[in-house]
Amino acid sequence: MSRTPYPTDLTDHQWRRMKPWVPTDAATGRPSKYSKREIVNAILYVTRNGCTWRGLPHDFPPYRIVFHWFRKWQADGTWERLHTKLRERVREKAGRSAKPTAAVLDSQTIKTTEQGGPRGYDAGKKSARPQAARGR
């Protein structure tokens, strides 16, 4: 890495943990010009800072390449596998089973009107009572 690191960049330790689950380049074809670590660092920068892909600083790989890898890994399940493996490691490090054995579901009860549709107050009316009730 020949640039000043950003706070969102992976440490060497984090990259060693993550690297086994990041797909490598195909055995055939042209080798990638950019390291997978730099691609991941650029993706983390976008997700952490909320900038657009085009807003990626120029010392990262080009945004089109970064977005390509983000979408490819999203489509092939890389992000989900990575999340699962890292979660399992965190659970094991905490002395728990790698896979959860129970889940808690939460719901909220909200009272609504019996009949749907718009409700509100019309400030242009002089009375809240219907016209027929006034005897006109």
pLDDT for 60-109, tens place per residue? Answer: 999 999 999 999 999 999 999 999 998 999 999 999 888 888 877 777 76
Contact 65, 34 (CB under 8 A): yes
Nearest by Cα to 71 from 35, 46, 34: 46
- Please tell me the total count of domains within the chain: 1
Distance CA 83, CA 60 (A): 24
* Domain membership of residue 38 as a residue range: 34-99
Question: Is 67 contained in some domain?
Answer: yes
For residues 22-38, give the mean pLDDT.
86
The model's confidence at residue 35, banded by pLDDT at 50, 70 and 90, is very high
